[in-house]
Amino acid sequence: MTKQAVLEARTVRLVQITDTHIREEGRLAYRKVDTAAGLRVIIDSVLALRQPPDAVVVTGDLVDFGRPTEYARLRELLAPLAMPVYLMPGNHDDREQLRAAFPEHAWLAPDLWLPDGAAPIQYVVRIGPLHLVTLDTVVPGHAHGELCDMRLDWLEERLAERRGEPVIVAMHHPPFTTLIGHMDKIGLKSGIERLARIVAQHPNVERVICGHLHRAIDVRFGGTIASTCPGPAHQVTLDLDPDAKSSFMMEPPGFRVHAWTPRTGVVTHLAPSGRFEGPYPFHEDGGGLID
Ligand SMILES: [Fe+2]
């Protein structure tokens, strides 16, 4: 095997899907959106990628109301994905119903207990040389997110154990201002400054990847890049007004491909959901450009 081939063999591809908001059969989200149909198209798009992903992470709001029947449907919808699928809670989820619906996902088991008895879903999994570290920003019963000291202590310990090794941190609520007024009002309300300090002290954190926003946003954060991802169905309206009212648009859905190689670190692509015409060649067989 050539050196290049060895390096290529170590490439890791992590697909990020987010905010699937699955409802029971026959129910539409917000009486308008067939979220299951959107997820089916995203999964078809992921399965059609030229290089299959090593793993998929779904960064929260897996279902719309945290109900067992919704998680059962999500389970059915995710079944075509043969690679590991890592699930995380968002503000629409219920931690215990999520755990109950995916009992074979051992990484969802409690690893941390808060003083009120709650057990956030925070875990580390290895995808080849890459570590995926998830943070739970959920405040049950509320739309906004928080990161208390205990959750951040846990992160600091996990990162200290992995110094120098590539890490992607995943969380539902992004740790940055989006400028979309109504979403910032239900954004991450605590822990942002300390999270930024922790990330800055660990330059091996390649990305902080998030959901919640139902559109693609990229921001400098703690010396790395923090980003959100489109949803599989509805997108939050692009309205950069502090008084923007809560609304969504049926803009094109999509997903992210976070590809890591030892030479490049993480390279993130934004992919539209669906099947499209092509590929068409740029060149004639003889090498000339087609005008
Ligand atoms: Fe959402």
Per-residue pLDDT tens listing for the chain (291 residues): 666 555 556 899 999 999 999 999 999 999 999 999 999 999 999 999 999 999 999 999 999 999 999 999 999 999 999 999 999 999 999 999 999 999 999 999 999 999 999 999 999 999 999 999 999 999 999 999 999 999 999 999 999 999 999 999 999 999 999 999 999 999 999 999 999 999 999 999 999 999 999 999 999 999 999 999 999 999 999 999 999 999 999 999 999 999 999 999 999 999 999 999 999 999 887 778 877
- CA 211 to centroid of ligand 1, rounded, Å: 7
Surface-to-core class of residue 105, CB atoms within 10 Å of its CB (0-12 exposed, 13-18 middle, 19+ buried): middle
- CA 281 to centroid of ligand 1, rounded, Å: 38
- CA 214 to centroid of ligand 1, rounded, Å: 6
- CA 7 to centroid of ligand 1, rounded, Å: 37
- CA 36 to centroid of ligand 1, rounded, Å: 14
- CA 49 to centroid of ligand 1, rounded, Å: 25
Surface-to-core class of residue 194, CB atoms within 10 Å of its CB (0-12 exposed, 13-18 middle, 19+ buried): middle
- CA 248 to centroid of ligand 1, rounded, Å: 11
- CA 128 to centroid of ligand 1, rounded, Å: 29
Rg over CA atoms, the chain: 19
